[in-house]
Amino acid sequence: AGGRRPVRYARPTLAARAARVLRDNDTGAVITAAPRLYPHMWSWDAAFISIGLARLDLPRAVAELETLFKAQWRNGMVPHIVFTDDDAYFPGPDRWGTDTAVDGPRDVRTSGICQPPVHAIAVQRMLEIARTSSPEERADAERFARSIWPALYSWHRWLVEYRTPGSSGLIAIVHGWESGMDNSPRWDVPYAAVNPGDELPPYVRKDVRVIGDPSERPTDKEYDRYLWLIEEMRRAGYDQKEIVRRSSFLVGDVFITALFAVSCDVLIELGTEFGQDEDKLADLALWASRARDAVAASCHSVSGMARDRDLRANRWLDTQTIAGFAPLLCGGAPDEVQLRLLSLLDSDRWCGHPGLLAPVPPSVSPMRPGFNPRQYWRGPQWPVVNWLFGWAFERRGWHERARKLREAGLRLTDDGAFGEYYEPFTGEPLGSTDQSWTAAVVLDWLC
């Protein structure tokens, strides 16, 4: 990690540095999520990266999403990692063993799980940006949005077809990595039921070699469980129905469900503009409304916070984290609940905490027992999560709130280190530096 904050960059310099990070992380084939820690393409990172790139080089932004969607599985799943040849990251393609998966892609090697569906949002944002540019860029972006639409639709259809088991209506994940919030305390209860057997093949972590301070990363015990779930899936040959039926982890993820609802709305907007099939637009409308209802139904009666649901143990997970604000992303909760959530978000339990360097919502409330200001998804602030709330607030017409989140995000990141995540009180960048998606959202905030 990058140590203390030496300097505050002025905006033009910050923008130039962010652009350089994206250029430097470009292998020619993909823009890696981070230079050393993550030498591959990650699914939701690629979406954010394309948004940042759209300001710099639209064809490169388009190519990035095309590369991701070339790795889309034949059943519609967009995989969470598309591997490059670099072997500095574990688990790599051999450990995943998806080469023989029936639905896997040909020609590329990928992981066997997914990540949050933010890709439609990225396409729409790229289009908006291109429309402020030249007529050629505008036409290119429109051509791209039209051509990628069916792949986005089939990705959303996969989430509905394979990942909405049971009656909660929530989109289910089969691995904490699918949430994008790997070791969030959201998953502590369901992970406690994952028992890595003696049959877990041995492995050596590589992340802790790159990040000098292992306390910023998930623990070994957590990693055993992550690897065990992969082992289960691999044994099931990545047959989704089988995995959802049997894996030892199955959780309705309220944050993904909210993002899905709003991404379906965005796809409808794009599809309407580009004359896509009416039946498909109707599907998307139905999926969006079910997802929104599921998010609203998950809200705790006292706190108002949205909850994940452990679908194996059949119970709500009351752990309060940033994901509890999911209804603010997609709407659909009763006004009174929404107001409660907004005032909670502003309160000293979250953004209004007097000790924060910048009023960016931390991954876990600093007032919560177990809050850890340095460890990954257990306390630090993540600029991309801030971007998502800002984007959603803008879309919902809450311009002043969106502006404040943007300003706060820029205050957090003006050290120019482009940390993967930040210590909320000191603003120390943690995890990787020169993280691509951080640079990308900073670029979007600055333009």
Binding site residues, ligand 9YW, CB under 6 A: 33, 38, 42, 44-45, 180, 182
Residue type at position 52? G
| Euclidean distance between CA atoms 155 and 89, whole angstroms | 26
Report the nearest approach of ligand 9YW to the CB of residue 122 (Å). 14
Report the nearest approach of ligand 9YW to the CB of residue 42 (Å). 4
Of the candidates 26, 137, 182, 269, the residue annotated as catalytic is: 182
CB closer to ligand 9YW, 338 vs 381: 381
Report the nearest approach of ligand 9YW to the CB of residue 293 (Å). 26
Report the nearest approach of ligand 9YW to the CB of residue 55 (Å). 20
Q: Closest-CB residue for ligand 9YW?
A: 180
CB closer to ligand 9YW, 42 vs 69: 42
CB closer to ligand 9YW, 80 vs 290: 80
Report the nearest approach of ligand 9YW to the CB of residue 150 (Å). 25
Report the nearest approach of ligand 9YW to the CB of residue 338 (Å). 26
Report the nearest approach of ligand 9YW to the CB of residue 33 (Å). 4
Of the candidates 420, 428, 434, 444, the residue annotated as catalytic is: 420
Neighbours of 213 (CB within 10 A): 12
Strands of the sheet containing 251-252, edge to edge, are 172-173, 251-252, 308-310, 315-317
Lookup result for tokens 């409808």 = 268
Residue 440 CB contacts under 8 Å (≥ 6 apart), including other chains? 18, 22, 48, 49, 50, 51, 52, 53
CB closer to ligand 9YW, 296 vs 442: 442
Would you give the end-to-end CA distance of the chain in angstroms?
A: 27
Report the nearest approach of ligand 9YW to the CB of residue 151 (Å). 20
Is 182 among the catalytic positions? yes
> To 10 degrees, the CA torsion angle through 163, 38, 86, 73?
20
CB closer to ligand 9YW, 117 vs 169: 117
CB closer to ligand 9YW, 276 vs 432: 432
CB closer to ligand 9YW, 39 vs 416: 39
Residue type at position 297? A
CB closer to ligand 9YW, 204 vs 302: 204
CB closer to ligand 9YW, 81 vs 299: 81
Report the nearest approach of ligand 9YW to the CB of residue 337 (Å). 27
Neighbours of 200 (CB within 10 A): 14
What residues are annotated to the active site? 182, 420
